[in-house]
Structure 1
């Protein structure tokens, strides 16, 4: 008998074409909100304004200043705007940066959050928040940051560039992969994670060939939902902690860093996580999940190395030491030497 503990978190999820306009007002009304602030990043401002227009008088403005890794000064400014507008809720429209900012607003103010993702980052499904201050990204878990409603609209993702589609999709796969070997995984989490990976890797080649394919966009969002839900129910391991170090300290782009690192972290952890590798292998239809993921991503044009992302060779030792100093569960013991070996492999792009 397999022993486990599983905790389900309350949340509504809506997935349908056009939902960002048709469903968001309904979700806001259902929560009893009358003065919501819409937040986004600068590149997503036009989409955010479309959502704001659909909300009509229930929207008190658009704050389009979200930035990657949620710098503390950006978060402080957003909270000021929330208070100045006397907002009673927040709608985050965009990728991980926008939803990350919405989470920190929820953490700071206690206001309910509605998420409208435009990428496959999966942050909307987790109670994990992140904040970067003085070059250090810290994260935490708090149920107050979990969106009350998540609205998935494949129409929003049709204009997502192929390069970001691929790296954002592999980012989602990383969530499921770490959930599979998390110490607090359950049978339901394992099933969710495996199905999420299968859906995402099936959709990505189709989207690389036809980015506006609405059905494939919907399948990718379905996969992102499942991968994010698996992560939201479990504890992050080496891969996510290392990505936070590289992003928060060295400013590396989030999805691209996940994409380059994931095969190497999986290869590093594989001897200590055979069941997880078996599940990933089924989803990927392979007996070498780390290599299959790398070949999928690189074959679709994703970056191959940490060097391409701007990391300096001298930063490898610093990053390895920082990752090893943090306490978190991982199937294989984390040492500075072991992390440095995998970082060197990812830096040069050798076969995982």
Structure 2
């Protein structure tokens, strides 16, 4: 018998099609009277529209969210937040908006409502990845967990195929890693396998038919499960590498996760055979790594770090940073092993 500990996230999840209409009700349920809406600069119009929808419940819009949650952005947003006298936060968007909400909640302890519009999954985790200088720091704290998450299938209908592919593989990476995490347990493993199965089925459909509503719902459900897995177990090699590549070299978040995913899995195959067997089964493939590569190719995801802007001269430094403070991982993390992994991911072989 496996002994395990499972901690469920204490949050309310509202899932459906058109659920954004319930935002005001959820804000009021939390007892909030003036919430700040957090979006990226490109989504400022969406923020203003939601502020109008909320009426007197809206304190204003902070359109500053940026990739990898830079500390300087958070500090500027804190100043705006103070001027608004807001008593809560509503983050609407992908990982950048959700990340800003978490960073502000960590510093202010204000309640949060997260409204994800991609498949990032960050909204389900007590993990904040923020960047100071060229270093991405990972903070795990219950203070950054949103009190409410609203999943609205309608908000994902406009995701273009390229973003659907990378965001979906980003979510799948959470589930794959949950299967080989040192504190994996039967509950999260069930969720992880179902998440991989749902995403693997939905993503090819959405690349061909972006407006397929049932596939959108299945992808969003898979992303929710993947995020819930990541929020319960310890992150491992895959996320460490992606934090290094994003924080220290400025690579785009979802695209980096999509590219690294099969290579991190391949690295761990010898030490995590049961986990990889479950990944293969969920993918409907005979081999986990081959299945991940095939899915990536089928949906047109980026295949190499070089295509994302990493230089070959960066590989040694990236391996050095990743090996200096390794995460728990089934296979021992060595500098040479990481350098070989990154070399393969650089070329996409």
- TM-score, length-normalised on structure 2? 0.98
Aligned to 2:236: 237
Q: Distance in 1 between matches of 2:94 and 2:132?
A: 20
Does the alignment pair 1:16 with 2:16? yes
Aligned to 2:5: 5
Does the alignment pair 1:295 with 2:294? yes
Aligned to 1:143: 142
- 1:195 deviates by 0.4
- 1:216 deviates by 1.2
Aligned to 1:323: 322
Aligned to 2:49: 50
Q: Distance in 1 between matches of 2:260 and 2:303?
A: 9
Q: Distance in 2 between matches of 1:195 and 1:48?
A: 33
Aligned to 1:79: 78
Q: Distance in 2 between matches of 1:135 and 1:167?
A: 23
Alignment partner of 1:60: what SS? strand
- 1:201 deviates by 1.1
Q: Distance in 2 between matches of 1:17 and 1:46?
A: 21
Q: Distance in 2 between matches of 1:327 and 1:205?
A: 34
**Deviations for 1:221-255, whole angstroms, at most 9, x for unmatched residues?**
10000000001000100100100000001000000
Q: Distance in 1 between matches of 2:157 and 2:325?
A: 38
Q: Distance in 2 between matches of 1:148 and 1:287?
A: 40
**Deviations for 1:114-165, whole angstroms, at most 9, x for unmatched residues?**
1000000000000001211111110110001000000001111111111010
- 1:55 deviates by 1.4
**Deviations for 1:311-347, whole angstroms, at most 9, x for unmatched residues?**
0001001001100111421111001100000100111
Per mean C-alpha deviation after superposition, the further-off stretch among 85-94 and 3-12 is: 3-12
Alignment partner of 1:75: what SS? helix
Alignment partner of 2:136: what SS? strand
- Given that residues 39 and 97 in structure 2 are in contact (C-alpha distance below 8 angstroms), is that contact kept between their aligned partners in structure 1? yes
Unaligned stretches of 5+ in structure 1?
Answer: none
Per mean C-alpha deviation after superposition, the further-off stretch among 190-199 and 283-292 is: 283-292
Aligned runs of 1:137-286 on 2, under 5 Å? 137-286=136-285
Q: Distance in 2 between matches of 1:122 and 1:151?
A: 12
- Given that residues 204 and 298 in structure 2 are in contact (C-alpha distance below 8 angstroms), is that contact kept between their aligned partners in structure 1? no
- Given that residues 237 and 326 in structure 2 are in contact (C-alpha distance below 8 angstroms), is that contact kept between their aligned partners in structure 1? no
Q: Distance in 2 between matches of 1:293 and 1:47?
A: 35
Runs ≥4 in structure 1, deviation > 6 angstroms? none
Matched residue pairs, number?
349
- TM-score, length-normalised on structure 1? 0.97
- 1:47 deviates by 2.6
Q: Distance in 2 between matches of 1:49 and 1:330?
A: 44
Alignment partner of 2:307: what SS? coil
Alignment partner of 1:130: what SS? strand
- 1:278 deviates by 1.2
Q: Distance in 1 between matches of 2:154 and 2:130?
A: 30
Q: Distance in 1 between matches of 2:212 and 2:221?
A: 14
Does the alignment pair 1:31 with 2:30? yes
Q: Distance in 1 between matches of 2:173 and 2:48?
A: 31
Alignment partner of 1:235: what SS? coil
**Deviations for 1:53-73, whole angstroms, at most 9, x for unmatched residues?**
221110011111110001111
Aligned runs of 1:128-139 on 2, under 5 Å? 128-139=127-138
Q: Distance in 2 between matches of 1:341 and 1:327?
A: 16
Does the alignment pair 1:126 with 2:125? yes
